[in-house]
Structure 1
Amino acid sequence: MAPIPKISEAICLIENNGDSLSVKEEAKKILENISQPLVVVSIVGPYLSGKSYLMNKLSGDSKCGFSLGHTYDAKTKGIWMQCVPHPNKSGHTLILLDTEGTGNVTKGNVQNDHMILSLAMLMSSAVIYNSTTAINQDAVKKLYSMTETHQDITHRASKQNGQDVPTKDQDPMLPILVWTLRDVTLKLEMNGQPVTADEYLEKSLQDITSAKTPRTKEQNRARKTIRDFFPQRKCFVFDLPSSDKAILSMMDQVSEDKLQSRFVEETKDFCQFILEKVPPKQLKGGTPVTGSRFAYLLQSYLDVVKNHDIGFLDSSMSAMFVNENRKEIQRSIESYENKMLSRHVNNHEEFQQAHKATVEEIMQDFKKLCVKHEKSLEEYKEELKNGLQNKKDEIWKKCEETSEQSCKEIMEKLKSNLVQNIKGKKYHVAGGHKIFVTDRDSIIQEYDQKQDKGVKAEDVRQQFLSSLEDVEKIILKTDQEMSASKPMIFQLTDKSDPTQLSQYIQSYRLPAGPFSRILIQLFGFAGHGKSSFVNSCLYASGSGRFHDYAGEAACLGGKTIDRRGYKLTENITIVDNRGFSTMDSAQEWEIYAQLSNCVPLNEFVTWGKSQDERVNLVIKRANEDTTDVIVPVLIYSSQQSLNGEEHENIKKFLKQAHSITRILPFVVLTKSKMGNGASLKDKFLKMGMEKVYCIENYTMSDQLAIRSKHLNILTILYDILDYANYHLNTKSNALNKQEIASILMNKVRMIN
């Protein structure tokens, strides 16, 4: 909430020009800057009755408060205002209104008095009626005359609503009446019995029952009007402050020890009641009056008392509430925009989820802040929903534009070398298509790894691929034409020559038949080097330079959580399967599901599925048209031991892999220099494995090309192709898809 503006002294709120009243703009601007609820206390009564002194005591500032009259010349003209932080109600502002005194013989305009007093009653949470010596018929008559204007206003409103008699429940602006009786020298007694100040007030406002003359009827009507108009009443009786006239003439300048102690105590009791019991000012429906609302309604209050028509206030309040709620709608839309723009989304689904959550939050806040009046909350909520929908469309468009620009900038940087190679026709050679595809896929992989690309990431990705379709067709055709005269398989003469091995692998073609590719399936524990082996194979077989295509793990924790396929050639794909943490039954299904291609390439792998899900995957695999030669390869770190239960589980896996693929698994022992490779190799050979290799992978920190490393890796690939050829030529030894499905279905039943 906005702080209370600092006011050096009381300021005129309503100016009295004698014949007319007007709002002072300076005071109005002060109120407009107060967003806190107000407690409004006004004081009315005869001039020179000490009203300003009591208001200064409430404000706690006699020096900068209201001016006190030290002569018979009245000091207060119109209505003056003082704003202070409420001492008892945190987050509230106390507004004190000191009104022009009645009965000034120099004034002569009684109607003007009535307007000022009625205006004070309309604006206040509590009205202090300040009179002297005793509550007599004259004092009651004066207070009654002050309420006549408001009574007439209420009466007219009730007639317009088809009611005969106005009731206090119909007027939400009825203030508390606090009657302060000043300079009392007599004891509080009635009919010879002592009474309290409150009892004295109530008995003074009772109907006169002893006579039924027109005069007494008028007096009773006045008392009843006061009782009805002020359902909550309180009375304070004050002794003379001092018997010294000099002190009385300058009470704002003397200390309290110069005044009668009883008067000082009575003043403290009065202030305590006002500050503790007077509630905040409210409008219809219990809406609190803030400083800004009070300022907005000031002119309406004036119009009401001038025209004796409460409709001015009703229409003004309605317009104010509509205006406030519209502003709150605009603030809610701005808040929605800020919240949505602060969220990062990668696609339309995420955007929709963010929109839904943000709208729910905004609507809840708006429901708390929306001011209730004759226009329903649902109407405002519908207006807000429409505004949020329009803003949502703007934000989505902005997200698309921002994301598209960012993604295009990323793609332009990544594809620059590819574009130059295409212009230089470096791919228009025999074998150029594979190099083109490798470079293109490398760009896509790097692009996919970029974070926070936004909602247009996939569109820009697809635009890039689409832009290369015609170029790729030309490159492929050129490659095929230039390769047609060359032998299908390079004639290898020296297996110890890495260059010849690489050329052999690159030129390898599947023999005629139903098989579409050789699938080198890598398995092993997480973090044992599968991803590094993929990178090493791509590097050694002719990619030209080392890349972290598979994303090597930094520790034994592993990094691969999905099945990723990488093309070595058009006929050979090496698959980095998700590493397992144990070889127990909890992960056994997914291991064999990956081995047999039940889990698709390039999709996230989760451990543990229901039996129905597993059966469906097996059935789907059996119905697929693809035919692969699956070669199982176990990757195991030489730094790890192989004993006990793990030894038996690995042995079981290798046996099952052989059963499913009909190819005896290959075993690759990584990190051989730092581990016990020789001992492990012996253990795997004793399990019945024929091909066990000890190697060192290339890594991001160790990527310098070494002939012996290349030779070891290329030898593994050559032997895999050799085994695959044997498998293809031994048709009686090959399993069809239905046989694989049958084995896996049995595995499903065994696991469950």
Structure 2
Amino acid sequence: MASETHMPVPVCLIENTPARGLVVRPEALQVLSKITQPVVVVAITGLYRTGKSYLMNRLAGQRRGFSLGSTVQSHTKGIWMWCVPHPCRPGHTLVLLDTEGLGDVEKNDTWIFVLTILLSSTLIYNSRGTIDQLAMDQLQYPWWDSSTRDSEDELDDSEKFVLFFPTLIWAVRDFTLHLKKDGKEISEDEYLEEALKLKAGKGMIQETQRYNQPRECIRQFFPDRKCFVFEQPASRKDLVRLEDLQDDEINPEFQQQVEKFCSHIWEKSPPKTIPGGHIITGNLLGKLATTYVETIRSGAVPCLESAVLALAEIENAAAVKEAVTLYQDLMAQRAKLPTENIQELLELHSQCEQEALELFMARAFKDGICHFQSQVEAVKAKFCKDNEQASYEKCKAALGDLSQDLEKRISDGVYSVSGGYELFKEDQQALVEKYWELPGKGVKADAVLQEFLQSRKTLAKSILNTDRSLTEKDRELKSTFWAGETGTTGLLGQEQHERAEQERAVQRQKEAEERQKLEDQLRSWEKHVLQLRKKLENCSEKQLKEQQKMIRHKSKVPSGRVQVPRCG
């Protein structure tokens, strides 16, 4: 979304439905996905029918937008969103969140309040009248219940929780008191701090505990806080049409207070961040909202009355998801499967886990490290399994390629001879040596090789049996040939064999001499033809004709000479 454009009207970001509970609306996510700028998220909460929507419309620079409503029933079901260009921060978008009122008997306030805290950078609490015990209890109700509080643990962790809490602005509507103490004028902020003071003593008096508890929570969890008071904007009969009133029909004091309030919000409200210093854009805000709602809907967070505990659970779940996703992405980028050995994969795992853990620790709080570690271990186990599978497939393919020649020699019967088994073993050993020379086989290299050799055992045994059978037959034939039935016959056979060998040697000698003679004749003929060619090249046309005549008159060539072909 470009900075010079904005939404013409608000849209529902998180709908609170009776049937499905909390649902993130896709049209709102689509709007946020286009906002790449940092966002300043200002949300408002408080009792329904206290004029929250009017203040949010003014922050948007408009009179209309968020529905004001004029009946007892709350108009805002869930959380509505309005994105506008930030009036004081160039390059930023102002995201306004209007929440349904607290105290509506038709719904559960806890999750709406938790999501408001998680998504906003500034939280406006809108109350009416004065800051009294009733106002404190109304703020305390959705997020701090003494029945869920385990000793002082949550307060002891306040420094960590503060990282997740927005700036608090307390807006007191229809304020009727004079800002004075002991006869001296005090500021709105001083009025708030006076109202938040604790009663002395830490005894077991129930009344004191009830008084101090909400104040103690606000002081610790909202260290950055401010107060604005507003007079009644118009007469009671005109309040129902407040958005239609002209400026001269609205209380001037109220108008000045609203302008002061808006200026402060615009100038002082910080951009939305999450622990670790990560600045949130509109696109990321939509993803945060989706993650938080999915966590609530999945049942991963118990339905707690204490929003503080729920906030911890939801934020930890989101932190775990983000950190585990980072670990998975880092492993996928850096792990070249298969690794040469398991140690290489484990070292890479340690590096990626450490980076993911740093991200998790920067964002999470309370107890969440065990859940993070268990999920990382599950992802690591899958990488180890994938690593083994990649190694297995690569080694199987390598042995398949290397064994092609061996398989062909087997099918051709190369080893089906006497001595074939030794030849087979030599060829198979050569294959194994080539296999071990191949790089990048991975952790299953030896196991796959043993599986391959085991699968060849039956074949090797068959070749060995054939070898033995043929070798035995050769021995029998030689024995019969050389020994015969008696020793004399054996000697006679040997003499005949030697004589036959001598005759074959003489025959081979004769053939060699004849071959040599023919080769000599051929060389003589080639030499004579070469001489004739040289003469023919040098003679004139007349000499050539005379030479041809002479050749034609010759009836035959002298003995031992080759007849010369005619030149013409």
TM bucket (normalised to shorter chain) is 0.5 to 0.7
- Aligned-partner residue type, residue 274 of structure 1: I
What residue is the counterpart of 2:121 in the other structure?
125
Offset at residue 258 of structure 1 (A) = 1.4
- Aligned-partner residue type, residue 210 of structure 2: E
User: For 1:247 and 1:224, how far apart are their aligned partners in 2?
Assistant: 38
User: For 1:325 and 1:25, how far apart are their aligned partners in 2?
Assistant: 30
What residue is the counterpart of 1:276 in the other structure?
267
1:314 aligns to 2:319 (yes or no): yes
What residue is the counterpart of 2:72 in the other structure?
72
User: For 1:295 and 1:32, how far apart are their aligned partners in 2?
Assistant: 7
1:240 counterpart (232, 235, 242)? 232
What residue is the counterpart of 1:135 in the other structure?
131
User: For 2:199 and 2:227, how far apart are their aligned partners in 1?
Assistant: 20
1:684-743 deviations in Å (ceiling 9; x for gaps)? xxxxxxxxxxxxxxxxxxxxxxxxxxxxxxxxxxxxxxxxxxxxxxxxxxxxxxxxxxxx
1:103-153 deviations in Å (ceiling 9; x for gaps)? 235x2x4xx112111210111101100000100001011112233289979
CA contact (8 A) 1:118 1:149 kept: no
- Aligned-partner residue type, residue 280 of structure 1: P
CA contact (8 A) 1:136 1:204 kept: yes
What residue is the counterpart of 2:9 in the other structure?
9
What residue is the counterpart of 1:90 in the other structure?
90
Offset at residue 255 of structure 1 (A) = 2.1
1:483-536 deviations in Å (ceiling 9; x for gaps)? xxxxxxxxxxxxxxxxxxxxxxxxxxxxxxxxxxxxxxxxxxxxxxxxxxxxxx
CA contact (8 A) 1:68 1:75 kept: yes
What residue is the counterpart of 1:206 in the other structure?
197
Structure 2 CA distance for partners of 1:164 and 1:170, relative to 1, 3 Å: closer
What residue is the counterpart of 1:18 in the other structure?
18
1:333-370 deviations in Å (ceiling 9; x for gaps)? xxxxxxxxxxxxxxxxxxxxxxxxxxxxxxxxxxxxx9
1:301 aligns to 2:292 (yes or no): yes
Structure 2 CA distance for partners of 1:239 and 1:49, relative to 1, 3 Å: same
Structure 2 CA distance for partners of 1:241 and 1:78, relative to 1, 3 Å: same
Offset at residue 49 of structure 1 (A) = 0.4
> Which of 137-146 and 203-212 deviates more?
203-212
CA contact (8 A) 1:41 1:127 kept: yes
Structure 2 CA distance for partners of 1:322 and 1:292, relative to 1, 3 Å: farther
What residue is the counterpart of 1:373 in the other structure?
359
Structure 2 CA distance for partners of 1:215 and 1:300, relative to 1, 3 Å: farther
User: For 1:210 and 1:191, how far apart are their aligned partners in 2?
Assistant: 23
Which structure has more helix as a fraction of its residues? 2
What residue is the counterpart of 1:216 in the other structure?
208
What SS does the aligned partner of 1:221 have?
helix
- Aligned-partner residue type, residue 50 of structure 2: S
Offset at residue 167 of structure 1 (A) = 2.5
Offset at residue 3 of structure 1 (A) = 5.0
Offset at residue 325 of structure 1 (A) = 9.1
Structure 2 CA distance for partners of 1:126 and 1:302, relative to 1, 3 Å: same
Structure 2 CA distance for partners of 1:220 and 1:251, relative to 1, 3 Å: same
User: For 2:127 and 2:81, how far apart are their aligned partners in 1?
Assistant: 21
User: For 2:45 and 2:295, how far apart are their aligned partners in 1?
Assistant: 19
User: For 2:145 and 2:118, how far apart are their aligned partners in 1?
Assistant: 10
1:185-212 deviations in Å (ceiling 9; x for gaps)? 2212345543211111111111012784
Offset at residue 374 of structure 1 (A) = 5.1
User: For 1:119 and 1:194, how far apart are their aligned partners in 2?
Assistant: 38
The number of aligned residues is 325
The within-5 A match list for 1:157-306 is: 165-209=156-200, 212=203, 213-243=205-235, 245-303=236-294, 306=301
1:46 aligns to 2:47 (yes or no): yes
CA contact (8 A) 1:293 1:320 kept: no
- Aligned-partner residue type, residue 284 of structure 1: P
CA contact (8 A) 2:161 2:221 kept: no
Offset at residue 169 of structure 1 (A) = 3.9
User: For 2:165 and 2:128, how far apart are their aligned partners in 1?
Assistant: 24
User: For 2:46 and 2:72, how far apart are their aligned partners in 1?
Assistant: 15
Could you tell me the TM-score, scaled by structure 2's length?
0.52
What SS does the aligned partner of 1:75 have?
coil
User: For 1:203 and 1:93, how far apart are their aligned partners in 2?
Assistant: 35
Structure 2 CA distance for partners of 1:34 and 1:238, relative to 1, 3 Å: same
The within-5 A match list for 1:341-360 is: none
User: For 1:101 and 1:215, how far apart are their aligned partners in 2?
Assistant: 28
User: For 2:145 and 2:293, how far apart are their aligned partners in 1?
Assistant: 12
- Aligned-partner residue type, residue 232 of structure 1: D
CA contact (8 A) 2:37 2:91 kept: yes
Offset at residue 303 of structure 1 (A) = 5.0
What residue is the counterpart of 1:56 in the other structure?
57
- Aligned-partner residue type, residue 46 of structure 1: L
What SS does the aligned partner of 2:69 have?
coil
What residue is the counterpart of 2:81 in the other structure?
81
Could you tell me the TM-score, scaled by structure 1's length?
0.40
Offset at residue 227 of structure 1 (A) = 0.8
User: For 1:373 and 1:121, how far apart are their aligned partners in 2?
Assistant: 21
Offset at residue 373 of structure 1 (A) = 2.8
User: For 1:87 and 1:323, how far apart are their aligned partners in 2?
Assistant: 40
- Aligned-partner residue type, residue 317 of structure 2: F
Offset at residue 2 of structure 1 (A) = 5.4
Structure 2 CA distance for partners of 1:149 and 1:98, relative to 1, 3 Å: farther
1:394-439 deviations in Å (ceiling 9; x for gaps)? xxxxxxxxxxxxxxxxxxxxxxxxxxxxxxxxxxxxxxxxxxxxxx
Offset at residue 257 of structure 1 (A) = 2.2
What SS does the aligned partner of 1:301 have?
helix
CA contact (8 A) 2:81 2:97 kept: yes
- Aligned-partner residue type, residue 148 of structure 1: W
CA contact (8 A) 1:14 1:21 kept: yes
Offset at residue 71 of structure 1 (A) = 2.4
What SS does the aligned partner of 1:318 have?
helix
CA contact (8 A) 1:180 1:237 kept: yes
1:223-256 deviations in Å (ceiling 9; x for gaps)? 111111101010000011112x342111111222
- Aligned-partner residue type, residue 37 of structure 2: Q
Q: Which runs of 5+ in 2 are unaligned?
A: 303-309, 335-355, 363-568
Offset at residue 164 of structure 1 (A) = 8.8
What residue is the counterpart of 1:570 in the other structure?
none
User: For 1:220 and 1:303, how far apart are their aligned partners in 2?
Assistant: 35
Offset at residue 318 of structure 1 (A) = 2.8
Structure 2 CA distance for partners of 1:23 and 1:197, relative to 1, 3 Å: same
What SS does the aligned partner of 2:27 have?
helix
Offset at residue 176 of structure 1 (A) = 0.6
User: For 2:26 and 2:217, how far apart are their aligned partners in 1?
Assistant: 35
Offset at residue 294 of structure 1 (A) = 1.0
What residue is the counterpart of 2:30 in the other structure?
29
- Aligned-partner residue type, residue 26 of structure 2: E
User: For 1:50 and 1:17, how far apart are their aligned partners in 2?
Assistant: 23
User: For 1:237 and 1:375, how far apart are their aligned partners in 2?
Assistant: 39
The within-5 A match list for 1:342-741 is: 373=359
CA contact (8 A) 1:168 1:174 kept: no
Offset at residue 175 of structure 1 (A) = 0.5
RMSD of equivalent CA atoms:
3.4
